[in-house]
């Protein structure tokens, strides 16, 4: 009898976890190919309407997916070889423009402002991905990936680090310098926790965010790195690479979305109800309807 009492709770926990995982994706939802006419898609960022900007870095363009009619248009040519994108709290588009190792702000009229062009008079390695805090601070990762369009062939900043732009005075500070190759980054909507993927070491960490933007309490979240990342309204964290892997708050893998591509670069939530998972993978864009939602806007 005692054995049965011990077994039953375990079974219920397993069933609950299984049910939770199954409920993430909407019932009967299927992965849909939106378009496959690009060279390499990256950096999806959602606006208030649920539309999503994304990049095609080899073609040097930023595109816009419409949540209303599922169509894609070109938003910006000569896009600075942008990679990661994010919408700031004023509705402007931020872009990791690694052609000249910069971070850009692009307003609604497509005017470009360079926010960061160097660190201590040294060229950045190549801003890759970013996240904006509720108070307007900007975290961005700066790994080094040798690009075919660069004339340089080595780093000016030896370490591949994570930086923070203080919204009060626009100063730039290093907040993580002990990672091999930081790449994907995402924070919780309350601004208290930051996740950083160290793709070079195949690990993802969580950090506590302090009021001044510094990071403490570095904790291993999971033994998997990631290219891009997002988070849903249940606190689940989405990592990319071979498809999309979904982890709960404890770092336990609860679901996987298989993508028939060699690499899945990035992911975010969009759509009118913010329940469409938007996936960039190689030359393609995919979507799938979810039972969870994004946390932006």
CATH number of the domain residue 167 falls in:
2.120.10.30
Segments of the chain scoring below 50 in pLDDT: 1, 3-19
Report d(CA 242, CA 98) in Å as an integer.
Answer: 24
Q: Looking at residue 22, what is its pLDDT?
A: 55
List the structure tokens of 233.
Answer: 């309204």
- For residue 191, which of 173, 161, 167, 170 has the smallest C-alpha distance? 167
d(CA 274, CA 213): 28
DSSP string, 85-113: EEE-TTSPEEEEETTTTEEEEE-TT--EE
Domain-located, residue 169: yes
CB of 93 within 8 A of CB of 53?
yes
Q: Please say whether the beta carbons of 293 and 274 come within 8 A.
A: yes
In the prediction, which pLDDT does 13 show? 42
Model pLDDT for residues 69-108, shown as the tens digit of each residue: 999 999 999 999 999 999 999 999 999 999 999 999 999 9
Asked if residue 20 is part of any domain, the answer here is: no
- What residues form DSSP beta bridges with 172? 165
Structure confidence at residue 297 (pLDDT): 84
Assess if residue 6 is contained within a domain: no
Q: Which DSSP state fits 94?
A: E
What's the pLDDT at 19? 41
Strand order in the sheet with 72-77: 41-46, 52-56, 61-65, 72-77
Domain count, the chain: 1
Residue 13 within a domain: no
Tell me whether residue 294 is in a domain: no
Q: Which domain holds residue 34?
A: 29-289
In a domain, 253, yes or no: yes
Provide the pLDDT for residue 79.
98
pLDDT for res 21: 57
pTM score, whole prediction? 0.93
**Residue 146 resides in a domain:** yes
Whether residue 296 is contained in a domain is answered as no
């Amino acid at each position: 009898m005692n054995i049965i009492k011990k077994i039953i709770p375990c079974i219920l926990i397993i069933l609950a976890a299984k049910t939770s995982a199954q409920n993430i994706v909407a019932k009967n939802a299927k992965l849909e190919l939106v378009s496959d006419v690009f060279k390499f898609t990256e950096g999806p960022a959602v606006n208030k309407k649920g539309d999503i900007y994304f990049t095609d870095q080899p073609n040097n363009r930023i595109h816009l997916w419409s949540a209303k009619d599922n169509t894609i248009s070109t938003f910006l040519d000569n896009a600075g070889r942008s990679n990661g994108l994010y919408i700031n709290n004023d509705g402007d588009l931020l872009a990791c423009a690694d052609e000249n190792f910069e971070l850009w702000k692009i307003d609604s009229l497509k005017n470009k402002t360079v926010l960061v062009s160097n660190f201590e008079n040294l060229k950045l390695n190549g801003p890759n991905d970013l996240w904006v805090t509720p108070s307007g601070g900007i975290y961005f990762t700066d790994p080094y990936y040798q690009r075919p369009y660069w004339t340089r062939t080595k780093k000016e900043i030896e370490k591949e680090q994570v930086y923070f732009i203080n919204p009060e005075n626009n100063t730039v500070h290093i907040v993580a310098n002990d990672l091999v190759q930081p790449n994907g980054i995402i924070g919780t909507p309350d601004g208290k926790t930051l996740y950083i993927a160290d793709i070079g070491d195949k690990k993802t960490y969580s950090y506590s965010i302090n009021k001044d933007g510094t990071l403490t309490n570095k904790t291993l979240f999971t033994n998997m790195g990631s290219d891009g990342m997002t988070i849903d309204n249940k606190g689940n964290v989405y990592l990319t690479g071979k498809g999309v892997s979904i982890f709960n708050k404890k770092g336990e893998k609860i679901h996987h979305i298989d993508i028939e591509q060699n690499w899945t670069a990035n992911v975010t939530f969009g759509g009118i109800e913010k329940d469409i998972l938007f996936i960039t993978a190689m030359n393609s864009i995919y979507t799938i309807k979810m039972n969870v939602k994004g946390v932006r806007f």
